[in-house]
Structure 1
Amino acid sequence: MMRLSGRFRSSLIIGLQGIRARKLRTLLSMISLFLGVLAVVTVQAGASIAERALMSDVELQSGYDGTVVIDVMPHEKSPSIVSETVAGRNDAVSLIGTSAIIGEPGVSPINPGGAPFDQGAWGSTEICDNVGNCVPGPPTGEAIEVVLTAVAGDLLTFRPLRPVSGDWLAFDTVPSLAPKIVINEEAAKGFRDHQVPAEMRVRGAKANMTPQIVGVVHDGDYQPRAYVRQDELTNWMPTSSLIDPNFGGQITVMTSSGSPVEQVLQSRLRGAGAESYVNVVQNRKEMEKQLMLMRLIFLSMAGLVLLIGVAGILNVGLATVGERVEEFALRRAVGTPRTLLAGIVLAETMLTGLLTAAAAIGAGIAGLKIVSMVLGGSEPLLANVQFPWDAGVAGILAGIIAGVLGGFIPALRAAGIPIATVMRA
């Protein structure tokens, strides 16, 4: 064991001496290999960042992996049951969706049905009663329709909404009679392009409200949406009126795995005759094949570039061995084992590969830092992004593999040099 350790140490020392003695050739080998290793590092870092971006976009809508999502069907008792079950808990949040029109009173919104502003109307401006009798609605005015989501609990624990401006809803204050709302980017377009009065009407409310817009978030929703504290909305309407079974609506409860909220809520809903469906968020598992395919495609492209670098280091290694024939023959004559001669050549190429990997990783870190500084302001995902550790590991492995592949044939040739060569010299 000590003998092998001594040979390994000797290979490294003589290899370092060879690198110092042939700086120019080492530099040429590193240049030919640098682009290949940098390609592997860049692809791995890019794949990690792309995976992060892809997962982040999915999490905006569905929530973090492991989150238990309970979808509750519209029922007259559903809002009250959900509110009572989630109240005061820090391991669950309820989202009750309805519609709201913000703007001039007595007019139809410019986007009926809460449609995106560049897609026209999704619904009709007609007013219909419960039996289906419809009459023309009021004329279109300066008002926009949004999906209004009443929130009870800390939604940011389960969904990574990205702040654009302002603040998120604060639940540590007394409920205000002027509800504070946070709008998404699509709703912000409507407020930016139209002079909309600050008056909000919600079906079932006792009177119109005066909302306060306190922030804008990116939530991944293409519809204009506004978030409001449920306790501030229920200052103006009973909890049971948040959902009208005749017009539909959305009730979602998000909770952590193992929380008693799931069992209690389902039991109470079942007793009231309301249906619910449970789903556990598994975004990464569902997208695993897609993510793996993406990585394999990019790594295959980087591998082709790396092979060019391996060919370069192989050529330099063969030329170096050809020039050192007499040296290796002399070492054989004085008793140096063939394995040690092969180890000397492999040590040089592997050390060259590791030095190249270090340079490529440094270039990758610097490049990512520059990209983060330049684009971080416009792309929140790139703000303060850290260099992925797996990209560094991939770079080191690429350097070692390239060193072994590029030095294997030269090492065999060095080990096969006969002792008689020294006599011819």
Structure 2
Amino acid sequence: MRRLSGRFRSSLIIGIQGIRARKLRTLLSMISLFLGVLAVVTVQAAAGIAERAQMAGLEMQNGYDGTVVVDVMPHEKAPGIVTETVAGRDDTVTMIGLQAIIGEPGVSPINPGAAPFDQGSWGSTEICDNVGNCVPGPPTGEAIEVVLTAVSGDMLKFRPLRAVSGQWLDFATVPAMAPRLVVNEEAAKGFNEHHVPAEMRMRGAKANVTPQIVGVVEDGDMQPRAYVRQDELTNWIPANKLVDPNFGGQFTVMTSQGSPVEQVLTAKLKAAGAESYSRVVESRKEMEKELRLMRLVFLSMAGLVLLIGVAGILNVGLATVGERVEEFALRRAVGTPRALLAGIVLAETMLTGLLTAAAAIGAGVAGLKVLSMFLGDSEPLLANVQFPWDAGVAGIIAGLIAGVLGGFVPAVRAAGIPIATVMRA
């Protein structure tokens, strides 16, 4: 072990001396390898950011991984059972979805069915009763239809919606008679393009209400949507009318794993004849294959660029060995083992690879900071983003592999130089 350690130390020292003696050649090797290692670092960092972006989008829509979601089927007794079960708990939130039209009274909305504003109509303007009799609806006017989500509790604990402007719903205050709304970006776009009166009508409401829009969020939903406190909405709609079995609608309970809410709520709903379906959010597991494939494709592309750098360092290494034939032959003549000669060449190429990796990682860190500085305001995912440590490790590994691959053939050639060469010299 001591002898091996001595040879390694000798190879390292002579390799450093060789790099210092041939600075220009080392610089050319680093330039040819730099783009390859930088590509690996960039691809690894980009894959991490892309994975973060995909997971952020899924978390906004589905919730954090591990969240227990109970989908409750529309039933007249369901709202009362859910409210009674989750009352006073801070580990549970309920969301009830219903349609609302904001704008000029007595007209049909410009986006029936709460359709995105660039996709035409998703529904009909006809008015139908509970038995299916329909008549033509009023003419289209200055009104917008949104999916209104009544929330009890702080939904941000389970779904990380991003604030765009204003503020999120404040549950610490007394319920207001004028419901406070937080709209998503699609709804905000509609309100910016169409100046509609601040009047909201909902099925089952005692009267039309005047809402207050207090904030805008990004929620990953393509439909125009508004969020409201459930206790503010029940000032105008009885709790048992929030869910209409005749028209359906979203009714979701989100709670943390290990909470007794799921078991108790499911049992109560079943006893009342209401159906419910429970699931655990596992977005990362569901996206694992896709994320792995994406990373593999990116790394394959970076690997091709890295091979170009390996070819460059290989050419430089072969040229260097050709110039140092007499030196290596003289070392063989004075008893230097072949393994040590190969180690000297490999040490030079591996040190060159490590220096290149350090330069590429530094460039990656600086580039990411500049990107975050200039695009952080417009792209929240890039705001205060940190350089991923796995990209740095990948860069170091890529530099070492490139050094070994680029120096292997020159090392073998250096080790095979016969002692007689020094006599010819």
Q: Shift of the alpha carbon at 1:378?
A: 2.0
Q: 1:97-116: per-residue Cα shift (whole Å, max 9, x none)?
A: 01111122232222222122
- The equivalent of 2:188 in structure 1 is 188
Query: Residue by residue, what CA displacement relative to the aligned partner does 1:243-273 show, whole Å, maximum 9, x if unpaired?
Result: 1111111101111222111111111111111
1:44-101 Cα deviation digits (max 9, x unpaired):
1111111111222222211122221111100001112122222222222111101111
Contact 1:87 1:152 in 2 (8 A): no
How do 1:77-116 and structure 2 match up within 5 A? Answer: 77-116=77-116
Give the drift of 1:407: 0.6
1:231 is paired with a residue whose SS is helix
Amino acid at match of 2:405: L
Partner residue, 2:172? 172
- Cα deviation, 1:265-315, whole Å, max 9, x if unaligned, reads 111111111001111111122222211111111211111111111111111
- State the partner residue of 1:34: 34
- Equivalent-residue separation in structure 2 for 1:358 and 1:62 (angstroms): 40
Distance, in Å, in 1 between the alignment partners of 2:290 and 2:373 is: 30
Which residue number corresponds to residue 225 of structure 2?
225
Find the residue that maps to 1:287 and give its secondary structure. Answer: helix
Matches of 1:304 and 1:112, distance apart in 2: 51
* 2:76 counterpart letter in structure 1: E
Q: Please, which runs of 5 or more residues in structure 1 have no aligned partner?
A: none
* Structure 1 residue 421 displacement after superposition: 2.3
In 2, the alpha carbon distance for the partners of 1:197 and 1:270 equals 43
Between 201-210 and 180-189, the greater mean CA deviation after superposition: 201-210
Aligned partner of 2:30: which letter? M
Deviation digits for residues 26-53 of structure 1 (CA, Å, limit 9, x no counterpart): 0010011111111111111111111111
Deviations 1:126-151 (A, max 9, x none): 32222233333333222211110011
Task: Please tell me the residue identity of whatever aligns with 1:416.
Answer: G
Contact 1:360 1:395 (C-alpha < 8 Å) held by counterparts: yes
* 1:323-338 → structure 2 map (5 Å cutoff): 323-338=323-338
Aligned residue runs from structure 1 range 147-162, under 5 A: 147-162=147-162
Structure-2 residue corresponding to 1:398: 398
Q: CA deviation at 1:154?
A: 1.8
Q: What's 2:58 paired with?
A: 58
Alignment of 1:9-408 (within 5 A): 9-408=9-408
Give the secondary-structure state (helix, strand or coil) at the position aligned to 1:237: coil
Q: Which runs of 5+ in 2 are unaligned?
A: none
1:375, distance to aligned residue in structure 2 (A): 2.1
CA contact (8 A) 1:86 1:152 kept: no
Worse-superposed segment, 128-137 or 22-31: 128-137
SS at match of 1:277: strand
Separation in 2, partners of 1:54, 1:7: 50
- TM-score by length of structure 1 reads 0.96
Distance 2:121 2:333 in 1: 90
Structure 1 residue runs of 4 or more that deviate by more than 6 Å after TM superposition: none
RMSD: 1.5
The amino acid that maps onto 2:407 is: G
CA apart distance, 1:206: 1.9
Partners of 2:89 and 2:11 in 1: how far apart? 64
